[in-house]
Amino acid sequence: MRRPNPQCITVQGDPAMEEIAALLHRRPELALFAAILLGQIIGRIHVKVFSFGSVVGTMIAGILIGIFAAPPLPDLMRWVFFYLFLFSIGYSVGPQFFGSLRKEAIPQIVLSITLGVTGLITVVAVAIVLDFDEGTAVGLLSGGLTQSAALGTGLNAIAALPLPDDIKASMSGAAPLADAITYGFGDLGLILFLTVGAPLLLRINLKAEAKALENELAGGEAADSLFGGRFYAFRGYRVENPSLFGVTVDELEQRHAAGRLSVQRIRRDGTLLQVRPDTPIRHGDWIVAGGNRAAFVHAESEIGTESDDAELLAIPLKSANVVITNKAVIGLSIGEARADRYFSRGVYLDSITRGEQELPRSPGTRVQRGDVVHIIGSPQDVERAAAAGGFVERDSGKTDLTFLAAGIICGVLIGLYTIDIDNIPLGLGIAGGILVVGLIAGWARSRYPVFGSMPEAAQRVLADIGLTVFIAIVGLTAGPHAVEAYHTRGGIFFASIFFGGMIVTLVPPLVALLVGKFLLKINPLLLIAGIAGAQTCTPGLNALRDASGSNIVALGYTVPYAIGNIILTIWGPIVVAILQALRH
């Protein structure tokens, strides 16, 4: 397609601006990185709880620079970066996605599907009523439901349509324009619904509800009592209390269970003994105990004189990120895991994360496959607990590029395969194929950690760079089409897109709220957090954290987020296919 001359768009009569536009047109790499830079600056502008974010900022910057200079960029380039983004997203949510497919998560799964299906129906209905083409509908989907991946899968489907190139180019230009117009309210509107509208409809106070849920999950026990909190130390004592003469190590630890005390060393007559649960303690033994502050408050009076022997206390402290994969641990609450002394003895929980969200360390918080627990303790205790729970996440700093390339190749090949039904080709499409392979790859890595290494930092880089470059190129390409759309259809067209986006943003969460309350009977706070997850709105979760004053909302977010990422991404080509079928 012939691109417009940048000097004929907006800068006639200004030699300096004409020269800059010409430079950006001749050197498209400058335009690309200028769009990324300006997009990051726009994305960092905050007005109270609202900000455009880097993705929308980059889209806006790309469209503006595209209007200004229309830089020619190869189409293959944007798809390469989008495929890297899709694979990394699938890889990162794979363990949570497959881990969520269990009986206990059925209400959250139904909630996610309800919101997703309602979103699809709403987008199609708005597109029909307002006479939007397939590209504008894709933009409504990705912007109104804040799922940028749907923009890529929708554009991929438009490129495969059996239509003239000029029509496909018009649709492809309309999609990012609609996304940029609707994404801002997609975030802000949902945040207001989650923090103001939903609590009013449910007649709850977010802070009071969070406190009640915390108390329910705690079961009368403080979180820090479970695994010792974030404070851990070793101290040495000489056994002088007659009541301890002859008791075993296990019995001593049971007496000091409140402080999570664990005996790490015993020195008897100058010799270090091997510490076992049934090892008897004798008068004059020197012991080294690990524990939290509560373990040592009365230790000197209950055990004996404290020692400052540096050699005796020279026990290394180890920490590790353990990926939960063992069936014996999956589904246990933190309180139940603490009761399993083989797993918890001498191990202190620092944090637990699911996906990118840190979960509360409440007794009622249940671990799932793929959760990462950060534990602290002596090397032997950490290694024992890691083996009991799963495997230690080794941060090798290297990404298995063979695995990455092979995964994307498999995804492309799967996406190329179609089945003809009544002369209509049906298939996952390349984007869908890569997403599915990414999901399987991430899940396989969590079960068999001997191949396919992709450190979390590498996943984030691939996702951030892949999506940002893709969005920048889409915006740069769409710029000239935005001007054409304004000249041919006027400002009313832009206003109708914004109005349609408002409907798409608000109707699905409202329906999901009613279904979650009256049919699924989900806890009100977790229901609201689940809606944020199903609509993949992390700013909404952060706003809920602030409004409720608690991190407990993350418990309702993670499962719907994993499922919502997949459902909303798949809707891109589905929207295109439905509108094509209805209109042709």
Q: Domains along the chain? A: 233-307 (3.30.70.1450), 318-392 (3.30.70.1450)
pLDDT at position 3 over 50: no
The SS3 call for residue 477 is helix
**CB distance 428 to 410 below 8 Å:** no
- Three-state DSSP at 387 gives helix
Range name among 171-185, 408-422, 545-559, 566-580 with the lowest pLDDT average: 408-422
Give the rounded percent of residues in the chain with a pLDDT score beyond 70. Answer: 92
| Selected residue with higher pLDDT from 340 and 205 | 205
pLDDT band at 57 (very low <50, low <70, confident <90, very high): confident
Percent of the chain at pLDDT > 90 equals 30
The one-letter code for the residue type at 116 is: G
H-only helix segments in 27-74: 28-43, 53-69
* Residue 124 confidence class, pLDDT cut points 50, 70, 90: very high
CB of 475 closer than 8 Å to CB of 180: yes
The mean pLDDT of 310-323, rounded to a whole number, is 85
pTM exceeds 0.85, yes or no: no
For 572, residues 6+ apart whose C-beta sits below 8 A from its C-beta are 138, 141, 142, 149, 150, 151, 152, 153, 154, 155, 156, 157, 431
For the segment 115-127, the average pLDDT, to the nearest whole number, is 96
Q: Tell me how far CA of residue 451 lies from CA of 122, 356, 398, 404, in angstroms.
A: 42, 22, 12, 11
Residue 166 reports pLDDT greater than 90: no
What pLDDT sits at residue 423?
Answer: 57
Taking only the tens place, the pLDDT of each residue in 465-475 is 998 998 899 88
If one compares 205 and 346, the residue with the highest pLDDT of the two is 205
Residue 515 banded pLDDT, cuts 50, 70, 90: very high
Is the pLDDT score of 6 beyond 50?
no
Structure token pair of residue 160: 């495969």
Cα–Cα distances (Å) from 456 to 4, 408, 442, in that order, read 42, 18, 11
Residue with tokens 């609707």: 182
Q: Express each pLDDT in 399-437 by its tens digit.
A: 888 899 999 999 999 988 877 665 555 667 788 889 889
How big, in percent rounded to 5, are the helix, strand and coil portions of the chain?
A: 65, 10, 25
| 556: its two tokens | 């309702």
State pLDDT tens for residues 67-103. Answer: 888 888 888 898 899 899 989 988 888 887 887 777 7
